[in-house]
């Protein structure tokens, strides 16, 4: 230990990679403190993975997250591929229930709202996803709770946000509708009239991307609000609409329209800003390739053995303007090569400095390919977690590798209402007999 009681910095290692691994190894997370161990969070969202992901991030860093579900359980527990569940809980919920205590409470009942108000006195953060104004109408919104708990940080997720011409509507928060509102599916997929009809249409992104983007931004906003509270002593209200968050990912499309009145259309594997920066079909799969600046294009064509292409497409503008023709030339070259062979040629060119430019490539992995790749397992990206209630689960682990206060998974999920006794006794002094009375009355 150093004189100030802290662990000393590691000694100089033989390599940077060894230093980084020893200093941030996620396998050692349980031996280190948690950054948010002092934080308490109430997540009373329903069927909303933006809220769930937001509270997952806070829980991974050590916050005590209390999931408040209706007595029958959150509808999000029912979402799952092909109806597959583990002990009645769908797979997506098992991914985003990590480290959270689970209680039941009927917020539509007056007594349920009274108990929620009492719980809110003890927490730092409230997360909700009700229709705008519903929590306020119930008397448990930010305006009421902040009077009792001035330091409360309160975040509300809703499709159209809490104000605006459409905010008062009764549209539920579904990721697919929120993706549609952003315009992102319009620019995703093959151009109209090219390829199979099923592919040349606006295409939904594969996962619940709008909700996950919103959840990540939500956690960021909560942490920023908590830092400000540290200086001011005051909490604040956060209004986060998932489409707002996803529109932040629209790249240059908005600015392009403003400056040039051009609307970005679907281009499939091509790219409207740089090229080549694309997927190409190989003999066994697909590869992503990039070599778009002039020096990098020189390197790419050297690898291909096609210096003539530099003369035909000598500038970024020429390559972007003729992207489809360039793409056809790339795929004519890659058709007889495997993705691994392309990778070997690129690595040889870069490692042995066989010419100018920086070029990049990566095989397009199927999910199973990714799971089989040892690199990710060594970095702790995936882990088999033995959960006391749900058994062995393969889960995505927190992505941050941190030397002092790393995130971690302590358990995967809890059954509906599993922590009623613990939470209600700890914070409200309510024992089992009273909890049973509340259960009989439909309150918990």
What is the domain count for the chain? 2
Residue 262 belongs to a domain: no
- pLDDT, position 263: 87
**Domain endpoint, select from 343, 363, 383:** 363
pLDDT per position as a tens digit, 249-292: 888 888 988 999 988 888 888 888 999 999 999 999 999 999 99
Residue 141 pLDDT: 98
Q: Tokens 């003999």 label which residue?
A: 283
Residue 171 domain-assigned?
Answer: yes
Predicted local distance difference test score (pLDDT) of residue 3: 44
Distance in Å from the first CA to the final CA of the chain: 48
58 and 205 within one domain:
yes
Cis ω for the linkage preceding 276 (within 30 of 0):
yes
Residues 292 and 244 in one domain: no
Cβ distance 332 to 280 under 8 Å? no
- Spell out the residues 6+ positions from residue 4 whose beta carbon is closer than 8 angstroms to its own: none
Long-range contacts, 206-209 (Cβ 8 Å, 24+)? 208/49, 208/92, 208/175, 209/175, 209/179, 209/184, 209/246
pLDDT, tens only, 322-358: 999 999 999 999 999 999 999 999 999 999 999 999 9
Domain boundary among the residues 330, 363, 396 is at 363
* 341 and 422 together in one domain: no
DSSP letters, 333-360, are HHTTS-HHHHHHHHHHHHHTT-SSS--E
DSSP state of 86: E
Task: Indicate the pTM of the whole model.
Answer: 0.92
Shared-domain flag, residues 210 and 302: no
Q: Is residue 7 part of a domain?
A: no
Same domain, 333 and 197: no
Q: Is residue 1 part of a domain?
A: no
333 and 425 together in one domain = no
* CA separation for the pair 210, 427 (Å, rounded): 34
244 & 308 share domain? no
SS3 content of the chain, % helix, strand, coil (to 5): 40, 15, 45
CA-CA distance, 189 to 196, in Å (whole number)?
11
Give every residue of the chain whose pLDDT is below 70, as ranges.
1-13
Q: What pLDDT is recorded for position 104?
A: 98
Classify residue 281 by burial, with Cβ atoms within 10 Å: 0-12, 13-18, 19+: middle
Which residue range(s) make up the domain with 183?
A: 32-248+414-440
Query: CATH number of the domain that 177 lies in?
Result: 3.40.50.10540
Kindly state whether residues 296 and 207 are assigned to the same domain.
no
Q: How far apart, in Å, are the Cα atoms of 67 and each of 13, 15, 124, 288? A: 43, 44, 14, 41
With respect to residue 80, please indicate whether it lies within any of the assigned structural domains.
yes
In angstroms, rounded to a whole number, what is the distance separating the alpha carbons of residues 67 and 184? 31
- What per-residue confidence (pLDDT) applies to 21? 94
The neighbouring-strand residues paired with 237 are 154
**Separation of alpha carbons 377 and 154, rounded Å:** 36
Do 61 and 178 have their domain in common?
Answer: yes
Within this chain, do residues 292 and 428 fall inside the same structural domain, yes or no?
A: no
**Which of 331, 363, 395 is the last residue before a domain boundary?**
363
Q: What's residue 2's pLDDT?
A: 43
Q: Are 430 and 344 found together in one domain?
A: no
Residue 1's pLDDT is what? 39
Sign of the dihedral defined by the CA atoms of residues 368, 373, 379, 385, in that order:
positive
Whether the Cβ atoms of residue 158 and residue 167 lie closer than 8 Å to each other? yes
Of 76, 90, 79, 86, residue with least CA distance to 45: 76
Classify burial at 184, counting beta carbons within 10 Å of its beta carbon; exposed 0-12, middle 13-18, buried 19 or more: buried
Q: Are 240 and 248 in contact (CB under 8 A)?
A: no
What pLDDT does 350 receive? Answer: 95
- Structural domain contains residue 102: yes
- Residue 11 is assigned to a structural domain of this protein: no
User: Does some domain include residue 216?
Assistant: yes
- Cα angle vertex 162, ends 185, 179, to 5°? 10
- What residues have CB less than 8 Å from 145, skipping those under 6 apart? 117, 120, 126, 152, 154
Do 218 and 137 lie in one domain? The reply is yes
DSSP three-state, residue 233: coil
């Amino acid at each position: 230990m150093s004189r100030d009681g802290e662990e000393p910095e590691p000694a100089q290692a033989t390599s940077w990679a060894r230093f980084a691994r020893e200093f941030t190894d996620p396998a050692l997370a349980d031996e280190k403190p948690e950054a948010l161990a002092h934080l308490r969070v109430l997540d009373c969202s329903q069927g909303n993975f933006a809220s769930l992901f937001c509270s997952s991030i806070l829980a991974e860093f050590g916050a005590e997250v209390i999931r408040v579900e209706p007595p029958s359980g959150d509808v999000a527990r029912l979402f799952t591929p092909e109806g597959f569940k583990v002990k009645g809980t769908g797979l997506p919920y098992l991914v985003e229930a990590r480290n959270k205590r689970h209680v039941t409470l009927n917020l539509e009942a007056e007594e349920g709202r009274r108990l929620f108000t009492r719980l809110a006195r003890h927490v730092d953060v409230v997360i909700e996803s009700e229709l705008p104004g519903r929590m306020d109408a119930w008397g448990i919104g930010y305006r009421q709770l902040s009077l009792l708990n001035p330091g409360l940080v309160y975040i509300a997720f809703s499709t159209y946000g809490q104000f605006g011409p459409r905010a008062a509507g009764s549209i539920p928060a579904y990721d697919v509708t929120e993706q549609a509102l952003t315009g992102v599916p319009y620019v995703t997929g093959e151009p109209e009239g090219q390829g199979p009809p099923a592919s040349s249409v606006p295409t939904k992104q594969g996962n619940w991307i709008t909700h996950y983007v919103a959840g990540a931004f939500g956690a960021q906003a909560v942490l920023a609000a908590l830092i400000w509270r540290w200086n001011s002593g005051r909490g604040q209200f956060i209004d986060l609409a998932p489409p707002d968050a996803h529109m932040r990912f629209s790249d240059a499309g908005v600015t392009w329209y403003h400056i040039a009145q051009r609307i970005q259309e679907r281009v499939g594997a091509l790219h409207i800003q740089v090229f080549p920066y694309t997927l190409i079909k190989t003999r066994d799969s697909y590869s992503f390739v990039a070599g778009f600046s002039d020096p990098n294009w020189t390197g790419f064509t050297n690898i291909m053995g096609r210096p003539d292409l530099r003369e035909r497409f000598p500038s970024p503008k020429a390559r972007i303007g003729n992207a489809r023709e360039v793409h056809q030339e790339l795929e004519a070259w890659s058709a007889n090569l495997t993705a691994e062979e392309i990778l070997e040629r690129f690595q040889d060119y870069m490692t042995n400095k066989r010419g100018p430019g920086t070029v990049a490539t990566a095989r397009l992995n199927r999910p199973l390919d990714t799971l089989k790749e040892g690199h990710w397992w060594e970095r702790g990206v995936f882990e088999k977690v033995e959960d006391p209630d749900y058994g062995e689960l393969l889960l995505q682990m927190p992505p941050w590798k941190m030397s002092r206060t790393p995130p971690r998974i302590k358990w995967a999920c809890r059954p509906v209402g599993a922590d009623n006794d613990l939470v209600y006794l700890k914070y409200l002094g309510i024992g089992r007999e009273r909890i049973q009375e509340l259960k009989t009355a439909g309150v918990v």
